[in-house]
Chains A and B, each alone.
Chain A
Amino acid sequence: DAGITQSPRHKVTETGTPVTLRCHQTENHRYMYWYRQDPGHGLRLIHYSYGVKDTDKGEVSDGYSVSRSKTEDFLLTLESATSSQTSVYFCAISIGEAGGYTNEQFFGPGTRLTVL
């Protein structure tokens, strides 16, 4: 599983509260990603990182922020959780993009978040 862990694995929270999800990798890969998975939408990219303190927005970044202060950790924060953010969140890593092509991504086990 490429040494990827996510915490917590399950969380129930209330609307309006901040939530932070953690992704940890043990293999010093440069690229890390946060996705959300919802029925009918597949996997949608929230934010990604291409190095320490280097992050960028994905297609559904509103309401989310990220931080990467160490190579091994990529944090996703829901600043004020809403019910629409109830989802399964996956972290992924890749060794990067070589020759213009995207390398395969390795996914963590996921975090199931419920916002009441």
Chain B
Amino acid sequence: GQQVMQIPQYQHVQEGEDFTTYCNSSTTLSNIQWYKQRPGGHPVFLIQLVKSGEVKKQKRLTFQFGEAKKNSSLHITATQTTDVGTYFCAGRGGATNKLIFGTGTLLAVQP
């Protein structure tokens, strides 16, 4: 079945450093979403990408959708302690055509 993998599983950075997480799907996606989950909290929607090659920015966060619509990335510039949490991608595609969540990347930011 469809699989959505994220790398890395865990990243520890110093405050001010950049951070990137990558999302890769085994099948072509119709769209991809990104969510953030703070420790002890619930996932919160960040953004959705639909078009091939699409790039969207939210302040220090940059989201990209690959040309083949099988991969995506989230880049955070100059991390802050408020960025701590797990970032999930979620893509729709494959035989089930349902939203499949990636395994997540846990970001730790040291002040």
Residue positions of A touching B, CB distance < 8 A = 35, 40-45, 48, 58-59, 90, 100-102, 104-110
Contact = CB atoms under 8 A, between A and B. Distances in A.
Interface residues of B, number: 24
A42 B103 contact: yes
Contact of A48 (B9, B98, B101, B103): B98
Contacts of A110: 42
A45 B6 CA distance: 17
B102 interface: yes
Interface in B37-61: 41-45, 48, 50
A89 B61 CA distance: 28
Given A40-B9, A105-B43, 10 more contacts: A42-B88, A59-B1, A59-B96, A100-B30, A101-B30, A102-B33, A102-B99, A104-B33, A108-B42, A110-B42
